[in-house]
């Protein structure tokens, strides 16, 4: 009852924001507009040299970039990536541990109000078996991701972390389990977690309110990122591109936020609608819009680990490969139990792996090598932290 109140209240108080066409009005354009083309190119080059630009200039890039300058932007972003990470693509094993969630994010298919999905929570032995399988395939980073599931207690997670690190000390564990207290983050860090992914989702307070019910707080999300820093994690944040009510101003705020926070990891993917959410009728984020933001993020936070996200591969086949040419340097294939992969349905048409893990691994490696990448299964820390542990 309370939850539907939050939902109705939030939706009723909103006015519709810009859609992708008005945020990136020239993105699908190939015709030349010499004045705009030249200015965008010069701003991109200035961004590379200075690391950041004034708000108005970032906004100019977003609102005026066309296909012509995209290629230049992607080329520069790729050069920046190669300066620090060469041609390496780090492989991480993603294990989706639970689709229970106490949060009501309007965009997310596993939000608490979706009564139509079948919920699951992996047992500790299922999680450990997935880790073992991934380790035997060569993976040295395991990403345990899930909804904000209250039954995944600190003790439950800590026990698994301790077990993994005891048996496989030569590995890294990334958690992505949502908002917690400083004490909880500390406990999990001490138990063996190394990294934590918590997308800020949007750096605009107004936009945040459009995406979330009234019992979720922008300030808390940001506070959690600072807690994570305080607990000495390698911290990842990021946002969806094309989420409802996003504007070029909110995207510029995202870039400024990334610049100020300098996260070790940045996850950027397109918003994709889910048929059982309040945002079911909104259009999905676009490929080029997402690639532009990945590339800008790479230039603004040059040493970040940036995944080519599953969402990008879900809106278009080959989307992730394009991101790997536009500044991304991480891939996170799903290595959780096969019968659970479809249940982690945060958006419609999410790609799942149909090959066996081994077949998939060989195909993926061949594809990456063919495209000029170096496949890297090592722990793949942020470059400033290599050899620290
Ligand atoms: N509960 C954790 C949290 O809040 O960070 C992790 C799980 S959450 C499902 C992981 C990410 O999925 C979110 O940060 C969000 O950006 C992304 N996501 C959720 N719904 C999405 C959608 N409809 N389209 C694209 N990405 C989505």
pLDDT tens digits, residue range 60-79?
999 999 999 999 999 999 99
- Is 143's C-beta closer than 6 angstroms to any atom of ligand 1? no
Q: Residue 19: what pLDDT?
A: 59
Q: Give the pLDDT score at 21.
A: 63
What are the sequence ranges of the domains in the chain?
2-378
Low-confidence ranges of the chain (pLDDT < 50): 1-18
Best residue among 102, 143, 199, 267 to mutate for probing ligand 1's pocket (most ligand atoms within 8 Å of CB) is 199
Going from the Cα of 159 to the center of ligand 1, the distance in angstroms, rounded, reads: 25
Question: Token pair for residue 128?
Answer: 């450990």
The confidence score (pLDDT) of residue 5 equals 36
The token pair at 220 is 């808390």
β-partners of residue 95 are 144
Q: Give the per-residue pLDDT at 29.
A: 86
First-to-last C-alpha distance (Å) of the chain: 48
Residue of minimum CA distance from atom 12 in ligand 1 = 346
| Composition of the chain by helix, strand, coil, percent to 5 | 45, 15, 40
For residue 82, the model assigns a pLDDT of 98
Rounded Cα distance between 249 and 261, Å, is 18
CA atoms 273, 277, 279, 281: torsion sign:
positive
Burial level of 271, CB count in 10 A (0-12/13-18/19+)? buried
| Cα Dmax for the chain | 61
347 CA closest ligand 1 atom index: 23
Please tell me the predicted confidence (pLDDT) of residue 353.
80
Say what the pLDDT of residue 352 is: 83
pTM for the model stands at 0.94
| Atom number, ligand 1, closest to the C-alpha of residue 311 | 25
In this structure, the number of other CB atoms found within 10 A of the CB of residue 241 comes to 28
Query: Ligand 1 pocket, 254 CB below 6 A?
Result: no
CATH number for region 2-378: 3.20.20.70
What confidence score (pLDDT) does residue 386 get?
84
Residue nearest to atom 4 of ligand 1 (CA): 178
Ligand 1, atom nearest to 284 Cα: 24
Nearest to 204 by CA among 309, 55, 326: 55
Amino acid 389: pLDDT: 56
Radius of gyration of the CA atoms of the chain, in A: 20
Provide the 8-state DSSP code for 95: E
């Amino acid at each position: 009852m309370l939850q539907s109140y939050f939902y109705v209240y939030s939706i009723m108080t909103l006015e519709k924001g810009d859609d992708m066409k008005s945020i990136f009005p020239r993105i699908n354009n190939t015709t030349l507009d010499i004045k705009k083309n030249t200015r965008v190119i010069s701003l991109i080059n200035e961004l590379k040299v200075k690391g950041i630009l004034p708000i108005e200039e970032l906004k100019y890039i977003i609102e005026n970039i066309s296909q012509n300058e995209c290629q230049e932007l992607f080329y520069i972003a790729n050069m920046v990536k190669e300066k620090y990470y060469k041609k390496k693509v780090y492989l991480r094993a993603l294990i989706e541990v639970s689709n229970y969630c106490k949060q009501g994010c309007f965009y997310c298919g596993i939000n608490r109000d979706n009564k139509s999905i079948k919920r699951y929570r992996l047992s500790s032995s299922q999680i450990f078996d997935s880790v073992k399988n991934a380790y035997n395939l060569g993976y040295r980073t395991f990403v345990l991701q899930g909804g904000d599931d209250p039954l995944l207690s600190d003790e439950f997670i800590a026990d698994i972390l301790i077990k993994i690190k005891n048996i496989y000390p030569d590995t890294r564990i990334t958690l992505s389990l949502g908002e917690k207290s400083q004490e909880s983050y500390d406990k999990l860090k001490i138990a063996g977690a190394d990294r934590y992914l918590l997308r800020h989702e949007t750096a605009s307070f107004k936009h945040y309110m459009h995406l979330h019910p009234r019992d979720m707080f922008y300030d808390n999300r940001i506070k959690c990122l600072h807690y994570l820093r305080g607990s000495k994690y390698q911290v990842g944040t990021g946002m969806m591109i094309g989420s409802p009510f996003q504007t070029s101003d909110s995207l510029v705020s995202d870039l400024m936020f990334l610049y100020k926070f300098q996260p070790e990891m940045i996850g950027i993917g397109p918003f994709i609608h889910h048929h059982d959410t309040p945002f079911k009728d909104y259009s999905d984020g676009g490929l080029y819009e997402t690639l532009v933001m990945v590339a800008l993020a790479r230039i603004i936070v040059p040493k970040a680990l940036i995944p080519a996200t599953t969402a990008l591969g879900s809106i278009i086949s080959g989307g992730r490969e394009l991101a790997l040419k536009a500044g991304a340097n991480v891939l996170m294939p799903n290595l959780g139990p096969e019968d659970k992969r479809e249940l982690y349905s945060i958006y419609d048409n999410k790609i799942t792996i149909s090959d066996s893990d081994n077949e998939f691994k060989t195909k993926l490696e061949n594809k990456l090598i063919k495209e000029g990448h170096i496949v890297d299964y090592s722990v793949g820390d942020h470059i400033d932290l290599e050899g620290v542990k």
